[in-house]
A and B are shown apart, each in its own frame.
Chain A
Amino acid sequence: MTEPHPLPHLQVRGLNGWYGESHVLHGVDIDVHEGETVTLLGRNGAGKTSTLRAITGLLKKREGVIKLKGRDLIGLPTYQAARAGIAYVPEERGIFAGLSVAENLTLPPKVAEGGMSVAEIYRLFPNLEERRNSQGTKLSGGEQQMLAMARVLRNGARLLLLDEPTEGLAPVIVQRIGEVLRTLKASGMTILLVEQNFRFARKVADRFYVMEHGRVVDHLTAAEVPDRLASLQTQLGV
């Protein structure tokens, strides 16, 4: 435990994945180091969401290596991957309609010590406290996104998987989400972000992987972005 980390916090090697018969991931390699924020970029259908789902185990048919702090996740049932230390915010937010805001918030069980307390979370997201007894899906889109993020901050996991947190949200809310991400990053959280909104991703990420057709086709650091802007824009179709 005390030795410095020779391995990345999350290491993905040669990841293949299938939905039924259709082969959606073709040998994806990704590293995310401790405390780093890494973004997966790419067009719709490039395999970004599938990569996250394969890491969590929600995409069941998968091959390759997925190591979290050196521990291989492939072969583990979904719930054990989460317990190994993953906090997951799915696309479309996944707020439960049958649960109140407070119940949604406290749903994910703790997987490690050191998560935020409910009081701290309400301090970070005051709206949620006001609406804590409402039905989860009665919240606005922005509030639902806050809830989806707040929900996994309690569980103590140090790797956050975020799938399109800004999708369909107003600029003010997007800005607010950016602030939350920077707060989390400052607290040492490791973040793997899937994002179509490049302007947003650029503000929060340290490194980028570009995906196409289920493969990683490019990799660059935040510092390289200005020089590569033109080629990136063609790759992403923005």
Chain B
Amino acid sequence: MTTLFGLPIQAISGQLLIGLINGSFYALLSLGLAIIFGLLRVINFAHGTQYMLGAVTAWLLLTVLNIGFWPSLVLAPLIVAVAGLLIERLFLRYLYGLDHLYSLLLTFGLALMIEGLMRDGFGAAGKPYSPPALLTGVVNLGFMILPIYRGFVVVASLIACLSVWLLIEKTKLGAYLRAATENSGLVQAFGVNVPKLLTFTYMLGAGLAALAGVLAAPIYQVSPLMGSNLIIIVFAVVVVGGMGSIMGAIVTGYALGLLEGLTKVFYPQASSIVIFVVMAIVLLVRPAGLFGREA
């Protein structure tokens, strides 16, 4: 068996793949957080909840309405985005003029409520969700066996991240978003309906989180608690990357996922804290974050 640093290469590539998959979720989630924070100045604590809701919605669509993975990949994010619309219209909108901490506390409270209700109704135990038939099975890449679905997750999240990047960097709507991030008053004075733009942005971020949740459903078990610790890791990712740059959020997400995977190979005990350690180091060396402009 081939080895690297005394470890079988199979094991290393296996952990790297897991790292890459986790990184895909970190990237999608921190991207959404960064977009929401950029424009709304809201730290969306409900982001992990929206990820969970994506997975749970897909599971419910399957079990209750017999709607499969592919339609769910679109439907579940849309449904969660509509829930996001309600949150923005009913609550967040009234907090924009206040200290940012209030919106953090509000979304924290909503996250607790939604997770508590789901746990009550859905049960804390994880539920399995099978990948679609098209993506089951494995391919042998020579140096490792790749389950097709896992490869798909990496590709799908890359496509989603790049699409969002293109949307923001290359379209008219993206130009509005970038401009409003700098000076939303002036963008309004030009006749752009910024309140609507804010709602849309929150929906986009929530939808991205839900997309990550649907993608995660066949890999992890679907459970009401799947997002609650994840959100804190994603916060650390965001502190490391700095929220000033969309690309920064994406790259940092993948990089930290990989690093976490590598840590699992070489020093498993530290794998759950390695991202926080990186965050501490970045705070010492470059407090504004790797890609950050201090907000």
Kindly state the separation between the CA atoms of A139 and B191 in the bound complex, as whole angstroms. Answer: 25
Tell me the residues in window 177-210 of chain B with beta carbons closer than 8 Å to chain A beta carbons.
Answer: 178-179, 181-183, 185-195
Size class of the contact patch on chain A? 20 to 34
Tell me the residues in window 45-77 of chain A with beta carbons closer than 8 Å to chain B beta carbons.
Answer: 56-58, 77
> Given A77-B195, A99-B175, do A107 and B190 touch, yes or no (CB 8 Å)?
yes
A213 at the interface (CB under 8 A from B): no
B276 at the interface (CB under 8 A from A): no
B108 at the interface (CB under 8 A from A): no
In whole Å, how far is B172's beta carbon from the nearest beta carbon of chain A?
8
The answer, among B175, B189, B191, B195, for a CB contact under 8 Å with A58, is B189
In whole Å, how far is A211's beta carbon from the nearest beta carbon of chain B?
21
Contacts of B179 in A (CB 8 A): 96, 98-99, 107
Verify A78–B182 contact, CB threshold 8 A. no
> Given A58-B185, A94-B186, do A79 and B192 touch, yes or no (CB 8 Å)?
yes
> Given A99-B175, A103-B175, do A83 and B191 touch, yes or no (CB 8 Å)?
yes
Contacts of B182 in A (CB 8 A): 96-98
Contacts of A94 in B (CB 8 A): 183, 186
Query: B179's closest neighbor in chain A, by CB?
Result: A96
Query: A157's closest neighbor in chain B, by CB?
Result: B191
Contacts of B189 in A (CB 8 A): 56-58, 78-79, 81-82, 86, 88, 90
In whole Å, how far is A120's beta carbon from the nearest beta carbon of chain B?
19
Verify B175–A107 contact, CB threshold 8 A. yes
A152 at the interface (CB under 8 A from B): yes
Kindly state the separation between the CA atoms of A81 and B189 in the bound complex, as whole angstroms. Answer: 8
Kindly state the separation between the CA atoms of A205 and B188 in the bound complex, as whole angstroms. Answer: 28
B176 at the interface (CB under 8 A from A): yes
Contacts of B190 in A (CB 8 A): 79, 82, 88, 107-109, 152, 155
Contacts of B191 in A (CB 8 A): 79-80, 82-83, 108-109, 111, 155
Kindly state the separation between the CA atoms of A111 and B191 in the bound complex, as whole angstroms. Answer: 7
For B182, B185, B189, the residue with the greatest tally of chain A CB atoms inside 10 Å of its CB is B189
Interface of A is mostly: loop
The answer, among A77, A81, A96, for a CB contact under 8 Å with B178, is A96
Kindly state the separation between the CA atoms of A103 and B178 in the bound complex, as whole angstroms. Answer: 10
Query: B197's closest neighbor in chain A, by CB?
Result: A79
Query: A56's closest neighbor in chain B, by CB?
Result: B189
In whole Å, how far is B2's beta carbon from the nearest beta carbon of chain A?
47
Verify A79–B193 contact, CB threshold 8 A. yes
Contacts of A79 in B (CB 8 A): 188-194
The answer, among A57, A82, A98, A155, for a CB contact under 8 Å with B181, is A98
Kindly state the separation between the CA atoms of A90 and B187 in the bound complex, as whole angstroms. Answer: 11
For B186, B191, B192, B194, the residue with the greatest tally of chain A CB atoms inside 10 Å of its CB is B191
Query: A98's closest neighbor in chain B, by CB?
Result: B178
> Given A79-B194, A103-B175, A107-B176, do A96 and B183 touch, yes or no (CB 8 Å)?
yes
Tell me the residues in window 126-160 of chain A with beta carbons closer than 8 Å to chain B beta carbons.
Answer: 152, 155
Verify A109–B186 contact, CB threshold 8 A. no
Contacts of B176 in A (CB 8 A): 107
Contacts of A56 in B (CB 8 A): 189
Contacts of B195 in A (CB 8 A): 77
In whole Å, how far is A139's beta carbon from the nearest beta carbon of chain B?
16
Query: A96's closest neighbor in chain B, by CB?
Result: B179
Contacts of B183 in A (CB 8 A): 94, 96
Kindly state the separation between the CA atoms of A88 and B191 in the bound complex, as whole angstroms. Answer: 10
Contacts of B192 in A (CB 8 A): 79, 108-109
Kindly state the separation between the CA atoms of A58 and B185 in the bound complex, as whole angstroms. Answer: 6
Tell me the residues in window 248-287 of chain B with beta carbons closer than 8 Å to chain A beta carbons.
Answer: none
Kindly state the separation between the CA atoms of A58 and B183 in the bound complex, as whole angstroms. Answer: 11
Query: A137's closest neighbor in chain B, by CB?
Result: B182
Kindly state the separation between the CA atoms of A88 and B189 in the bound complex, as whole angstroms. Answer: 7
In whole Å, how far is B25's beta carbon from the nearest beta carbon of chain A?
27
Kindly state the separation between the CA atoms of A79 and B188 in the bound complex, as whole angstroms. Answer: 5
Verify B188–A99 contact, CB threshold 8 A. no
Kindly state the separation between the CA atoms of A56 and B183 in the bound complex, as whole angstroms. Answer: 15
Contacts of A90 in B (CB 8 A): 186, 189
Nearest 6 CB-CB pairs, A to B?
A82-B191, A108-B190, A78-B188, A98-B178, A83-B191, A96-B179
Q: Known A-B contacts: A78-B188, A83-B191. Give 12 more (CB < 8 A).
A: A79-B189, A79-B193, A79-B194, A81-B189, A82-B188, A82-B189, A88-B190, A90-B189, A96-B183, A99-B178, A103-B175, A107-B176
11 CB < 8 A contacts A-B: A56-B189, A57-B188, A57-B189, A58-B185, A58-B188, A77-B188, A78-B188, A79-B191, A81-B189, A94-B183, A109-B192
